[in-house]
Amino acid sequence: MKIASFHKEFIKVLLMFKYVYSLVFCIVLGISPSFSQHTEEPAAATAAHEEEKFDIGGMIMHHIADEHGWEFTHGVKLPLPIILYTADRGLEVFSSSKLDHGQVYNDYKNEHEHIVRVNADGTVNEAVHPMDFSITKNVATLMLGALILILIFTSVSRGYVKNKGKAPKGIQSFLEPLIVYMRDEVVKPSIGKNYGKYFPYLLTLFFFIFINNLLGLLPGGANLTGNIAITLVLALITFLITNLSANKYYWKHILLPNTPKWMWVIMIPVEVVGVLMKPLSLMIRLFANITAGHIIMLSLFGLIFIFKSWAVAPAISIFALFMSAIELLVAFLQAFIFTLLTSMYIGSAIEDHHAEEHH
C-alpha cells in the first residue's frame, strides 16, 4: 500500500512538473519569431503583396531532427563542437556557430546537417568525404542524461551508506519504492532466481530511457529516444545479452523444435525470424511512440500559424496540456515496457525447461 501511495504522489509531482513546462513551452512559442518568420515576408515582399506559406512539415522536422547546434528557441542557440577528420588535413575542431546560416568556414559548409567540403565556387567537393565525430544536440543530451543518472544514483548510494539501518531520506526515499517495484514486480518474476545478474543493466535501462524521455519533453529538449540510432543500440545490447546468456534449451527450441521433422523447414526459419523480431520490435516501438508524441505536440502549436489567428490559441493550448499529460504517461510507460520486455526475453532465454524432463 505504501508503494501504491508513493506512486500516486510520484505521478502528481511529474504531472505538475509537465504542466508548468507545457505552459512555458506555449509562451516561448508565442513570443518566438521563429514561427512568424515563416508567415510574414520582409518589408519589400510585403509591399509586393507576396506571402510565403508556413511550412509546418519543415518546422516539425527541424525540431525533431538532430543538429550540430542546440537551439532552445529562435535566436538562442548553444554552439557545439564540430569534430572532423579528413585524410589530407587530419583532425579539425571548431565551433558549430562558424557554419550557421550557410556560412563557409575553412572550406566546410553545413548542408542540411551534413558537413561537406566545398570548392572556391561554392560547389561540393565530391572527392573529400569528412568523417564527422561532432558533438551534436543528441550527443550532448546523451551526455547530460548520463551525468544526471550518475549524480542521482551516486547520491542514492551515499544515502544508503549514511542512513544504514534507518529510514531513507531525500532522493533516496523518492526513488527506493520505484526501484523496489521494478525489482519485485518486473525483473524478478520475469527472470527468476538469477535476476540479480541482470538487474543492474535493467535498472540502468529503465532510468536511462525514462530520464531522457522527460528531457525530451522540456522546451528546447532533444528528441534523443525518438532517434532510431539510439533505440537501435539499446535493442542491440538487449539482443546480445539475451542470446549470449541463453542456455541449451533455448537454442534447442529454436534450432531443433519439438515438432515432426518434416515441419522443421518451416518452424526453424520462423523461430530464427522471431529471435530477430524481438529487438526490432523494441527499437521501433520506442522510436515510433516518442517521435509521434513530439510530432503531435508540434502540429498542435503549428495550427495557430496555419489559421493565422490567435483566437484558436487558447483552445489549442488547453488541448496541448491534455496531450502533455498523455506524453508524460507515455514517457514512463515506454521505459517500463522496454524494461519489462527485455526482462521477459532474458528470462525465456535462461529458463530451465523442466517440462521436457517431466514429459
Note whether residue 320 is domain-resident.
yes
Count of beta carbons in the 10 Å neighbourhood of residue 242: 22
Note whether residue 178 is domain-resident.
yes
Note whether residue 220 is domain-resident.
yes
Note whether residue 63 is domain-resident.
no
Per-residue pLDDT of the chain (359 residues; tens, 9 = 90+): 444 444 444 444 344 434 433 443 343 333 333 333 333 334 444 433 334 677 788 788 878 888 888 888 777 888 999 999 999 899 999 999 898 888 898 889 998 888 999 988 888 888 888 999 999 999 999 999 999 999 998 988 888 888 777 777 778 888 888 999 999 999 999 998 889 999 999 999 999 999 999 999 888 888 899 999 999 999 999 999 999 998 888 888 888 888 888 888 888 899 899 999 999 999 999 999 999 988 988 888 888 888 877 778 888 888 888 888 899 999 999 999 999 999 999 999 988 765 444 44
As beta bridge partners, residue 108 has: 105, 117
- d(C-alpha 339, C-alpha 273), whole Å: 22
168 shares its domain with 201: yes
Q: Which of 235, 243, 260, 228 is nearest to 350 (CA)?
A: 243
pLDDT of 52 reads: 61
110 shares its domain with 234: no
For 113, the domain range is 81-134
**Would the pTM count as exceeding 0.75?**
yes
Domain end position, chosen among 134, 164, 197 = 134
pLDDT of 354 reads: 55
Quick one: three-class SS letters along 257-298? CCCCHHHHHHHHHHHHHHHHHHHHHHHHHHHHHHHHHHHHHH
- d(C-alpha 335, C-alpha 210), whole Å: 5
227 shares its domain with 105: no
191 shares its domain with 87: no
Give, as one character, the DSSP assignment of residue 53: P
- The grid coordinates of residue 301 equal 502549436
Note whether residue 36 is domain-resident.
no
311 shares its domain with 297: yes
pLDDT of 33 reads: 31
Domains: count for the chain: 2
pLDDT of 37 reads: 34
Note whether residue 327 is domain-resident.
yes
User: CB-side exposure of 32: number of CA atoms within 13 Å?
Assistant: 21
Domain end position, chosen among 134, 151, 171 = 134
